[in-house]
């Protein structure tokens, strides 16, 4: 019966004859096992006819799932990493699912999972908490082509009400972003989802527009080069191949200027963090802007100089 469940969970429609042959049972035994699965809560649909046809359908509740060893390992490892994400509501759900799975894992799988986790470094790049309900509402609206309204707070702290057509949610570096068509501004806009509040779905729909050629690149460009001065620009006196190995550039761009130098441009949430990070690259560099980064770097240099006896 468990092998039957595993076959049905592939999602395909099986003829009764194929299932009976794969399982090595009689048609009568097959029908009996299908009825047992139904009694356990698995919604197995059937179509009458020569030999019958069977498929596992969507039900009203979550039935037990049968996982292979590889699927179980992938699920537990994925949930462990998901629990690191600072998404309000998701972390507790991931922890709960982990506890249930780990209670029933056989010892051979516990060892494999422990080996994977022991040899893997996971750093949560999330900054601040995200509301899982907001993610779900925006995702559902985008899939159904439904208009949304929400409150949005800009980097400068200005709050406004937005009407938008949602299309994509993108995880970029440390942040979640929404790519949407701003109805009032009549243009594509990128919104940081942790700054979105009070999402409502009025029930109206929109006709999908032609997306930008590369939605992810569009969001990345919008996030990396916002219409503000909050981005650091640094020139390194070293080839891009050297700097790229020592600098995490997920949230910025690193381009070669010539064979011996390159430029790093990155949006910044903390000038102090960037001022500390740059010297750790280990090559000479020049800060091209903005003044805030220059000032924080000078303050940091003064503190280090004082701490080391001048």
- Asked whether the CA dihedral 126, 130, 133, 137 is positive or negative, the reply is negative
- Could you give the CA distance from residue 204 to residue 147 in angstroms, rounded to a whole number? 6
Res 255: pLDDT: 85
Mean pLDDT, consecutive 10-residue segments, the chain of 310 residues? 80 84 89 86 76 71 70 78 58 71 76 66 52 80 93 85 92 78 92 91 93 79 55 89 76 81 81 86 90 91 87
Residue with tokens 């949560």: 124
Give the sign of the dihedral formed by CA 84, CA 86, CA 90, CA 95. Answer: positive
Q: Look at residue 227 in the predicted model and tell me its pLDDT.
A: 38
Taking the CA atoms of 294, 297, 299 and 301 in sequence, report the sign of the dihedral they define. Answer: negative
Residue 174: the pLDDT is: 62
CB of 98 closer than 8 Å to CB of 80: yes
**Roughly what angle, to the nearest 10 degrees, separates helices 16-23 and 27-39?**
100
Q: Quick one: pLDDT at residue 62?
A: 59
Neighbours of 202 (CB within 10 A): 10
Looking at residue 124, its pLDDT comes to: 46
Give all strands (DSSP E) within 184-242, no chain letters.
187-192, 196-200, 231-236
Quick count: other Cβ atoms within 10 Å of Cβ 127? 13
């Amino acid at each position: 019966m468990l092998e039957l469940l595993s076959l049905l969970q592939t999602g395909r429609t099986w003829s009764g004859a194929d299932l009976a042959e794969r399982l090595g049972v009689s048609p009568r035994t097959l029908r009996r096992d299908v009825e047992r699965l139904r009694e356990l809560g698995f919604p197995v649909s059937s179509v009458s006819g020569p030999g019958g046809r069977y498929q596992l359908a969507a039900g009203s509740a979550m039935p037990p799932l049968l996982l292979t060893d590889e699927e179980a390992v992938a699920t537990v490892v994925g949930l462990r990493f998901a629990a690191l994400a600072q998404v309000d509501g998701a972390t507790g759900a991931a922890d709960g699912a982990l506890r249930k799975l780990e209670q029933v894992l056989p010892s051979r799988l516990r060892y494999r999972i422990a080996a994977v986790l022991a040899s893997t470094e996971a750093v949560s790049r999330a900054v601040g908490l995200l509301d899982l309900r907001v993610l779900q509402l925006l995702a559902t609206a985008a899939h159904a082509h439904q208009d949304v309204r929400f409150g949005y707070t800009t980097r400068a702290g200005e709050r406004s009400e937005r009407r938008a057509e949602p299309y994509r949610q993108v995880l970029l570096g440390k942040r979640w972003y929404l790519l949407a068509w701003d109805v009032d501004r009549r243009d594509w806009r990128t919104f940081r989802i942790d700054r979105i509040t009070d999402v409502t779905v009025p029930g109206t729909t929109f006709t999908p527009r032609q997306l930008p050629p590369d939605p992810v690149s569009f969001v990345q460009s919008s996030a990396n080069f916002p219409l503000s001065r909050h981005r650091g620009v640094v020139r390194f006196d070293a080839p891009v191949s050297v700097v790229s190995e020592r600098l995490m550039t997920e949230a910025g761009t690193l381009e070669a200027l010539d064979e011996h130098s390159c430029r790093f441009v990155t949006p910044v949430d903390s000038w102090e963090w960037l001022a500390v990070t740059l010297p750790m690259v280990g090559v000479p560099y020049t800060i091209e802007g903005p003044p805030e980064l220059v000032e924080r770097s000078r303050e940091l240099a003064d503190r280090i100089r004082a701490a080391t006896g001048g």
